[in-house]
Structure 1
Amino acid sequence: MSRGTFDLHLESLHNYILRMGSIVEKQIYDATEALHKQDLELAKKVIDDDDIVDNLEKEIEDRCIKLIAKEQPLAKDLRMIFTSTKIVTDLERMADHAVDIAKIAIVLKDEKFIKPLVDIPKMAGLVKNMIREGLDAYVEGDVDKAYLVCKKDDEVDDIYRGVFKEMLPIMAKDQSTINQATQFLFVCKYLERVADHVTNICEWTIYLVTGEIKDLNE
């Protein structure tokens, strides 16, 4: 395989990852929308569409294995392929968290909410933007952008802590709210974990460009 053909295969790999990322981004949005609007059908769709993400993960991993097995990639190419496998693993786990949120949406579909959902949609919006910008940083090989995306993780963490502090007195005052409040905290925790996975993608981007392994999930 010529260098030009090999580069086309790497570009195709990028496109598959971007497609997977776009689907995961929508999964996160749809899952939180299903919760917010108590939309049972949308929640079920999020769960059903998880198979699409799983299949894309397998397809991308298969392409990576074939590129290594059939060609003789240079060191920088190996780093690109290795990074791709790590990124799709993080994307797949994000999709799993979207399913987790969708399942909570189903559990709470008929309940009157103890408070209007404000922080969870805000948190989901931040996470959704992080996914898009994190993948942009990866494709562009932009280390500065990767660091900027990681900083947004602090905003997500702040919202999570705020919701936690808000829920504690509500549960203490009325025990009947404990189950629902706990479910909301789980949703926030899942979104916080998604943000952590985006940070992982940014770490792999930095490694891809510089060869340095950074731990930015602190």
Structure 2
Amino acid sequence: MRRVFEEELKSLHAHFLKMGVLVNEAIQKSVDAFVTHDKELAQQVIDEDAAINALENELELECFELIALQQPVTTDLRKIVTVMKASADLERIGDHAVSIAKSTIKVKGKKHDADIETAIAETALKVMGMVKEVLDAYVVLDVERAREIAARDTEIDAAAKNIYENCIEQMKQDPEIILGGTNYMRISTYLERIGDYVTNISEWIIYLDSGEVVELNVHHKI
């Protein structure tokens, strides 16, 4: 029975990592679509989100079945709970990638601001790096790396706030950029929230390792 349980746990983690790959691709595509003003690529992100949602539903079902059928002990239960909670955070990250894609479509044809778009692109690259690294930390159960990644969320918060304030200032000076600026502000908020969910996953890595429930960067929790 133990061998069967271990195999099912491995399958669970494999599905989680597959979901992580899909989410990372969604962020990459949504950011690329924003940078290049590619409406078709943005639509692709929206269309492909169903696969991420389906994986999250499958993972949740697998977790419940493992708990019900195998009655895992404390350490094993932590592994299952971590996958279930972290996959929910991944799904929300995917949702924000979709939101970025939708805002990219809305901003197409509107007046642009190159400086703000550059700031958004730079922030997005940092966020993408955090998502990839937190998944890597999860694979090897690197608690220190998880803490370091979560600490970088303050940088994302500051960048998002700066973009937001720049948008307000530009809209005051040029009414023609109001529609585009509103979408820039939305995108900066989505990036900031992705950073929050990365922090959540970092917390689950710590929980998986020690059973300790911690709150990192509690200044802004979603």
TM-score bucket (shorter structure): over 0.9
Contact 1:47 1:99 in 2 (8 A): yes
Shift of 1:5: 2.5
Contact 2:96 2:194 in 1 (8 A): yes
State the match for 1:189 in structure 2: 189
Output aligned runs, 1:106-121, within 5 Å: 106-116=105-115, 117-121=117-121
**Equivalent residue letter for 1:58:** N
Shift of 1:131: 1.0
Give, in whole Å, the separation in 1 of the partners of 2:3 and 2:124: 40
Output aligned runs, 1:36-47, within 5 Å: 36-47=35-46
Gaps of at least 5 residues in structure 1 are none
Gaps of at least 5 residues in structure 2 are none
Shift of 1:110: 2.0
Contact 2:164 2:185 in 1 (8 A): yes
Match of 1:49, SS state, is helix
1:176 aligns with 2:176: yes
The number of aligned residues is 217
Contact 1:31 1:98 in 2 (8 A): yes
State the match for 1:35 in structure 2: 34
Contact 2:30 2:42 in 1 (8 A): yes
**Equivalent residue letter for 2:83:** S
Give, in whole Å, the separation in 1 of the partners of 2:39 and 2:160: 25
Shift of 1:202: 0.5
Give, in whole Å, the separation in 2 of the partners of 1:156 and 1:142: 22
Give, in whole Å, the separation in 2 of the partners of 1:34 and 1:153: 23
Q: TM-score, normalised by structure 1?
A: 0.95
Give, in whole Å, the separation in 2 of the partners of 1:31 and 1:136: 21
Q: Which aligned segments of 4 or more residues in structure 1 are displaced greater than 6 angstroms?
A: none
Contact 2:23 2:93 in 1 (8 A): yes
Contact 2:107 2:179 in 1 (8 A): no
State the match for 1:147 in structure 2: 147
